[in-house]
Amino acid sequence: MHFPTDLTFYLELALEVLLAFTLAYCVILERRLAAVRKGQEGLSRTIGELNMAISGAGASLRALKSAAGEAAQTLDERLKRARLHIDELSVLTASGERIAQRMESAAASPRVAREIPDMPLPSTSILSRLERAVQ
């Protein structure tokens, strides 16, 4: 009966060694899980920062779109005014050309120049209108 006691001893010793390995493995697993939790917290913080950056970029894009719309409206208004000025200048230019042609034809024909009394030239009225418009 001496043999079964030795067997029990060896079985208990084997169980203790297995328990020691299990304990060591549990410690290693706990450290790895702690590292994973740390990484998870860092990842969560990074995702939060990324979400904040995305929402800030969205707000910036909305502000940029609004500013672009306002700039487009301002540009349209300026273009309309410029077109009005272009039309006005083309009318004035055409009128000036007609007056210049009349003056040239009057200067070329001495008979017409003698028949026309001293009347103010049309250019003086145009100049006075331009001066009033500038003031």
Distances (CA, A) of 8 to 22, 23, 43: 21, 22, 51
**pLDDT tens, residue by residue, 103-118:** 888 887 765 545 555 5
Range from 6-10, 30-34, 62-66 carrying the lowest mean pLDDT: 6-10
- Residue 32 counted as domain residue: yes
Number of domains present in the structure of the chain: 1
Are 99 and 123 in contact by the 8 Å Cβ rule? The answer is yes
- Residue 95 counted as domain residue: yes
- Residue 64 counted as domain residue: yes
Note down the domain range covering 8: 2-116
pTM of the complete model: 0.44
